[in-house]
Amino acid sequence: MAPRPASETSKYARDVGKFPKKVSKAKNKRLQQGLKKVDQEYQEFVKSAEATDVLLQEEAGFLEADGPMERTMKFRQDDIVEAVDVGTANKKLDLQLTELGPYTLDFNRNGRKLLIGGKKGHVASMDWRLGKLGCELFLNETVNAVKYLHNDNFFAVAQKKYTFIYDGSGTELHRLKKHVELTLLDFLPYHFLLVSAGYSGMLRYHDVSTGALVSEIRTKLGPTQAMKQNPWNAVMHLGHGNGTVTMWTPSQKDPVVKIQSNRGPIRDLAVDREGKYMVVSGSDKRVKIWDLRKLQELDTYVIPTPARSVDISDRGLISVGWGPHVSVWKDAFKTHQDEPYMTHLLPSSKIEKIKYVPFEDVLGIGHMKGVGSMIVPGAGEANFDAMEINPYESAKQRQEQEVRTLLNKLSPDTIALDPNFIGMVDKKARNVRLNQTQIQDLEDEEKKEKERSSMNSGPSYKPEQTKLKKYLQKNNANIMDARRMRIERNLKLEEERKEKLKAKELEGEGEPDELLPALGRFA
């Protein structure tokens, strides 16, 4: 087969460099035709993907300075709101909630709904674009974390002792008694797994579709300080008090990777959408960038105070919340940046949680005095796949999407560092294959074992371990009475019966009589 053109392996090719460009010729003609058909289908896929570029009308744009004396980090949010269009300006959010803070927040997968949770018991779910309140709860109990599940109709709240599941109207549905004293929640949408960690140092995976506790792992590293998922392979990244970052899967009781990242406790971490880079902030006032492909540190940034929260946007912008400040860094994965791309200040407040809105140039900020937002041009993905996540879906489309995701739910065993192992051939299996002679020897050994077990077809216990024998051993006095004589006689009869049964089985399995039936009576 001819090698694929270079244009096809640039942007839309899958696993570039992992497989040879030219497929070797197979000995079997049928196999060769199958390989040729697969390669043709792959080329058609690449061409159709290139043809969709015409339909992608939206483009991502960033802030640009007018001259060398102007810097984008000096642009204020008030100036940006005046310069952008009305639709983007209306996405600027500022909720003053000074009594029940500090607030944490979460967005659903399509970015339409906002879920906020105050430390003193205030929980609310809303459509933040329209300003429409879905439900509001005053729990009169400490709220440590909030998280949307597969859609905005269900969300989990980690309260003082237990974790509760609520529906879109605020009705309590479940109380998860095994999820105790949690501070961190996350959800794996393709596996329908609710992941939790907290003070106990336990990592738990709970299947919300069946209600079963899939896995319960003891980290043995004390209380978990930070937890985020890798969107590419669903591996959980945990930050601990000794400055290490561990990566976990539900099928293994030990971490698959363990990294010594910082010299102090981990405050927060984030993983980009492609699963290539990880950003870790620690109490040593350092924000470190790691390459997860080589498990190597790329860069380090020093900030005045330890960062409370970090997040990475769809386009690779890094946001760091430290004290009352929010710093946004651009192209930090490529080269070291001398100054941030954008900055934002919340006077007389303190950042608790920052999170980017999916498919939007908006950064949600939860702080001590309420919830706000920050417009970050170029942060969101301009073109979305409506078959995967649709920000403008209707109620009917949401129901169909829920059924579709349940049918395509992945097993927890598929979570691994390299998700491409599914459907691949194990190259090491060639060394453990058995030839035909070894297989025949194993079959013969099994037949002999069955024959040996059939020969010993008596009772499973030994004769000296029978009840009659035990009674005689226990009453070993040299006194002959009627009961002792009866027991000895029964024991003798039982042994004779077993010997006859064994002799009969041996006669049945013996060699056949060589004499003819007519002469058999003279034998």
332-341 tens-digit pLDDT: 999 999 999 9
Cα 386 to Cα 180, 187, 391: the distances in Å are: 37, 21, 8
pLDDT over threshold 90, residue 224: yes
Share of the chain above pLDDT 90, in %: 60
Mean pLDDT in residue range 307-331: 95
At 520 the pLDDT is: 54
Residue 248 pairs in a beta bridge with 236
Share of the chain above pLDDT 70, in %: 84
Mean pLDDT in residue range 290-311: 95
Contact assessment for residue 285 and residue 305, using Cβ atoms and an 8 Å cutoff: yes
pLDDT over threshold 80, residue 458: no
Vertex 462, ends 456 and 465: CA angle to 5°?
Answer: 165
As a whole number of angstroms, the distance between CA 459 and CA 471 comes to 19
Four-point Cα dihedral 397, 403, 406, 408, nearest 10 = -80
As a whole number of angstroms, the distance between CA 220 and CA 287 comes to 25
At 62 the pLDDT is: 86
Mean pLDDT in residue range 299-305: 95
The string over 320-349, giving b where at least 16 C-beta atoms fall within 10 Å of a residue's C-beta and e elsewhere, is bbbbbbbbbbbebbeeeeeebbbbbebeeb
pTM above 0.85, yes or no: no
As a whole number of angstroms, the distance between CA 248 and CA 114 comes to 28
At 16 the pLDDT is: 61
- Tell me the pLDDT band of 422, cut-offs 50, 70 and 90: confident
pLDDT over threshold 50, residue 5: no
Domain definitions of the chain by residue range: 15-48, 72-400, 467-507+515-523
Mean pLDDT in residue range 233-259: 95
Range of lowest pLDDT (43-57, 247-261, 477-491):
477-491
- Tell me the pLDDT band of 447, cut-offs 50, 70 and 90: confident
Residue 487, both tokens: 């027991």
pLDDT over threshold 70, residue 348: yes
At 1 the pLDDT is: 41
Mean pLDDT in residue range 19-47: 77
Element (H, E) at 80: helix 77-83
pLDDT over threshold 80, residue 298: yes
At 332 the pLDDT is: 94
CATH topology of domain 72-400: Methylamine Dehydrogenase; Chain H (2.130.10)
Q: State the average pLDDT for the chain.
A: 86
As a whole number of angstroms, the distance between CA 334 and CA 277 comes to 11
Mean pLDDT in residue range 120-144: 94
Mean pLDDT in residue range 67-76: 88
pLDDT over threshold 70, residue 50: yes
Residue 442, both tokens: 């194993």
At 3 the pLDDT is: 44
At 428 the pLDDT is: 63
Residue 281, both tokens: 């902030």
Residue 52, both tokens: 């969709």
- Tell me the pLDDT band of 439, cut-offs 50, 70 and 90: confident
As a whole number of angstroms, the distance between CA 457 and CA 30 comes to 53
pLDDT over threshold 80, residue 143: yes
pLDDT over threshold 50, residue 8: no
Mean pLDDT in residue range 68-82: 90
Higher pLDDT pick, 120 / 476? 120
Of 367-371, 377-381, 467-471, 505-509, the range with the highest mean pLDDT is 367-371
pLDDT over threshold 50, residue 64: yes
